[in-house]
Amino acid sequence: MKVLIIGGVAAGPKAAAKIVRMKPDAEVTIIERGVFLSYAGCGLPYYVSGEVKEQKDLMSTPAGAVRDAAFFRNVKNVKVQSGTEALEIDRAGKRVHVKILATGEDAWLTYDTLVLATGASPVIPPIPGVEKKNVFTLHAVPSATTIKTMLATEKVKDAVIIGSGLIGVETAEALVAVGCNVTMIEALPQILNMLDWEMARFVEQHMVAKGVCLLTSTKALALESDEDEAVVARVKTEKESILADLVIMAVGVRANVDLARKALLEIGTTGALKVNDRMRTSDPDIYAAGDCVECVDRLTGRPAFLPLGSTANKQGRVAAINICGGDEKFPGVLGSTVCKVFDFCVARTGLTEKAARQLRYDIVTASVPGPDKPHYMPQAKSILMKIVAERNTGKVLGLQAVGPGDGSKRVDVAATAITAGMTLDDLANLDLCYAPPYSQAMDNIITAANVARNKQDGVMDGIPAEAVHEKLEAGEDFVFLDVRSPQEHAQVRLPKTTLIPLGALRKRLGELPHDKEIVTFCQASLRGYESALILKAAGFSRVRVLDGGVAMWPYEKET
């Protein structure tokens, strides 16, 4: 069996290794356009920041062996031709036309099975000046190394990042770490479009606190120069021109499907390569895996383009098993994502509120802030969490978690729960590990499920911060009731509030009007909820609880 694999970064080498393990006689060859093999692309921002010390760390095994062509030959029994570009697939002849870049020589390589692991490439937006010097993407080892060298040898004061996805925010942290003034430009009204806007807002506030100049709803119009026309010096936007010794283009990636398209393989609606759940393309002898393919969203059944190293590895394994005569399915993805943004862990899985509403789900959401460990433990850190579930069935649809606390654990639990079709009730009674150094007795995700259940059952009538903010902006006449302690109120306040601490509320009911709406809140919302119940029991009819309390108020607060 002769297997030819195009692409040597993640899915390709994974498939190759697994094929050779399953069929030791298989003749497996990897064609890679670049020089570097099997490297950790997701580690590049940490290489730029200096956290990862050496380039070779990104392409070594845990035991310290560099995964080069000799490694693949001796250890894996896989032949690798790097610096070799695939030009064309001859499906009828089952062969691939390749060019050796160094010499310009070409050749035809035959295959019994072909695997396309061609990856994705950064999108370069059509902005005048993108070709100038010191304008980079951060996608592969060479660009990372160039950026790192430039940071080490030239005076780079001002850096501008265009785009605010995963690579954008991770690079922002890396560039701040090495001492740059960093400006991030995003055309949309929020960063990290994978989050609901208010969740993204908390991340934005953190980035600003860490010194990043953030320009949302801002388009980069051109990259301008000073004396030297070839070198970037400024990024022009509608509002201003921003100094830029260095520009990183991070507006997203696009699947590399030219080769497949030319070979008339089916392309999906997302623009990535279409495969079935066996990772087979429309040609039964051609498989594909990794960043070049389109996935299925496990929750909605819709096509999704979510290129990630985790998915690439799993798909490479699935493709290999099927190529070797096994029967393995890749069931799809949920959009589980995590990234570190300075001191924040930003994680999500499944659907955001926005996505769920667009898909016309009837939903209930709960916004629940809280420490990731009991508050009395010195290492406790806060997580702002938002859960989305289907109203009728209680089926969990999504979870977002941002903050310094360990949100990735809770999002992984949610991803598992969503995969299993669990409901809020199921989540609420999960037997999760508890000890003070690791978690609260009622884990954050359990509390989130319980709050959502209270809303689902109509026991708690929540109101999103956005709706309250609109009321305030419109000058609407309602009581915005803070039931925290006077000390908490003195520290930080929401606008135009009335303070009656929960412990005094039963005695001071007379101070509240029966003819106005009352919106209650506290720091998180338990006391806000309890006060709403007290008010309802006392005959107040229009009482709602601010979702997420002070902790998750995304607008300005008074201090």
CB of 3 to a copy of itself, least distance (A): 16
Strands 382-390 and 479-482: unpaired
In contact, 368 and 444? CB cutoff 8 Å? yes
Contact between 162 and 248 under an 8 Å Cβ cutoff? The reply is yes
Q: Which is nearer to a copy of itself, 353 or 406 (CB)?
A: 406
Minimal distance, residue 22 CB to a copy of itself, in Å: 7
Q: Least distance to a copy of itself from the beta carbon of 383, Å?
A: 13
Which residue, 223 or 380, is less far from a copy of itself as judged by CB?
380
Two tokens at 406? 């360990």
Does position 172 bind a copy of itself by CB under 8 A? no
CB-wise, 512 or 534, nearer to a copy of itself? 534
Residue 330 is a binding residue for a copy of itself (CB under 8 A): yes
Determine whether 463 is exposed, middle or buried from the number of CB atoms within 10 Å of its CB (0-12, 13-18, 19+).
Answer: middle
- Using left for φ > 0, alpha for ψ between -120 and 50, and beta otherwise, residue 435 falls in beta
| Residue of the chain from 31, 242, 293, 334 that contacts a copy of itself (CB under 8 A) | 334
Looking at beta carbons only, is 156 or 388 nearer to a copy of itself? Answer: 388
Q: Which of residues 521-540 bind a copy of itself (CB under 8 A)?
A: 522-524, 527, 529-530, 533-534, 536-537
Least spacing, CB of residue 333 vs a copy of itself, in Å: 5
Out of 134, 183, 349, 423, which residue is the one contacting a copy of itself (CB under 8 A)?
349
Long-range contact set of residues 416-419: C-beta below 8 Å, sequence gap at least 24 = 418/298, 418/299, 418/334, 418/349, 418/350, 419/298, 419/334
Is residue 231 close enough to count as binding a copy of itself by CB under 8 A? no
Under rule CB under 8 A, which residues in 410-429 are in contact with a copy of itself? 411-413, 415-417, 419-422, 426, 428-429
Query: Restricting to residues 300-319, which ones interact with a copy of itself according to CB under 8 A?
Result: 308-314, 317-318
In angstroms, rounded to a whole number, what is the distance separating the alpha carbons of residues 189 and 216?
5
Q: Say which amino acid occupies 183.
A: T
Side by side, which strands form the sheet with 344-350? 337-341, 344-350, 396-403, 382-390, 363-371
Q: How far is the CB of 130 from a copy of itself (least distance, A)?
A: 27
CB of 415 to a copy of itself, least distance (A): 6
Q: Is 338 in the site for a copy of itself (CB under 8 A)?
A: yes
DSSP structure class, residue 508? G
Pick 107 or 420: Cβ nearer a copy of itself: 420
Task: Give the residue with the Cβ less far from a copy of itself, 126 or 539.
Answer: 539
Question: Looking at 35, 178, 430, 509, which residue binds a copy of itself (CB under 8 A)?
Answer: 430
In sequence order, the β-bridge partners of residue 234 are: 224, 243
Site for a copy of itself in 376-405 (CB under 8 A): 376-378
Of residues 1, 22, 150, 467, which one binds a copy of itself by CB under 8 A?
22
Subset of 47-106 contacting a copy of itself (CB under 8 A): 51-52, 57-58, 60, 62-65, 71, 74-77
Q: Is 21 in the site for a copy of itself (CB under 8 A)?
A: yes
CA atoms in the 13 A half-sphere facing the CB of 159: 30
Instruction: Give the DSSP H or E segment for 139.
Output: none
Shortest separation between residue 117's beta carbon and a copy of itself, angstroms: 14
- Does position 461 bind a copy of itself by CB under 8 A? no
**Residue 443, both tokens:** 């884990």
Distance in angstroms (rounded) separating the CA atoms of residues 21 and 28:
11
Catalytically annotated residue among 42, 213, 292, 295: 42
What tokens were used for 350? 């499944």
Task: Spell out a b/e string for 49-58, using b for 16 or more CB atoms within 10 Å of the CB, else e.
Answer: beebeebeeb
Closer to a copy of itself by CB, 242 or 417: give it: 417
Q: Compute the C-alpha angle 444/446/450, nearest 5°.
A: 115
- Figure out which of the listed residues 187, 188, 359, 442 binds a copy of itself, where binding follows CB under 8 A: 442
What is the DSSP code (8-state) at residue 233? -
CA torsion sign for 353, 356, 357, 358 is positive
What is the DSSP code (8-state) at residue 134? T
Task: Report d(CA 252, CA 168) in Å as an integer.
Answer: 9
Count the site residues for a copy of itself by CB under 8 A. Answer: 107
Q: Does 25 bind a copy of itself (CB under 8 A)?
A: yes
Give whichever of 62 and 475 is closer to a copy of itself, judged by the CB atom: 62
Q: Which CB sits closer to a copy of itself, 47 or 109?
A: 47
Which residues lie closer than 8 Å to 135 by C-beta, 6 or more apart? 129, 223, 232, 247, 249
Taking alpha carbons only, the member of 248, 341, 350, 340 closest to residue 302 is 350
Q: Is position 408 an interface residue for a copy of itself (rule: CB under 8 A)?
A: yes
- Smallest gap from residue 232 Cβ to a copy of itself (A): 29
- Binders of a copy of itself among residues 243 to 302 (CB under 8 A) are 298
Nearer to a copy of itself, 236 or 544 (CB): 544
Site for a copy of itself in 107-166 (CB under 8 A): 166
The Cα–Cα gap between 355 and 386 comes to: 14
Q: In the bound complex, what is the minimum distance in angstroms from residue 351's beta carbon to a copy of itself? A: 13
E strand map for 13-164: 27-31, 79-81, 84-90, 95-100, 106-110, 113-116, 120-122, 135-136, 158-162
Among 365, 400, 439, 444, binds a copy of itself (CB under 8 A): 439
Contact between 174 and a copy of itself (CB under 8 A)? no
Report, in Å, the least distance between residue 439 CB and a copy of itself.
7
Q: Which of residues 470-489 bind a copy of itself (CB under 8 A)?
A: 484-485, 487-488
Instruction: Give the residue, chosen from 433, 474, 515, 559, that forms a contact with a copy of itself under the rule CB under 8 A.
Output: 433
Residue 42 annotated as catalytic: yes
Question: Catalytic amino acids?
Answer: 42
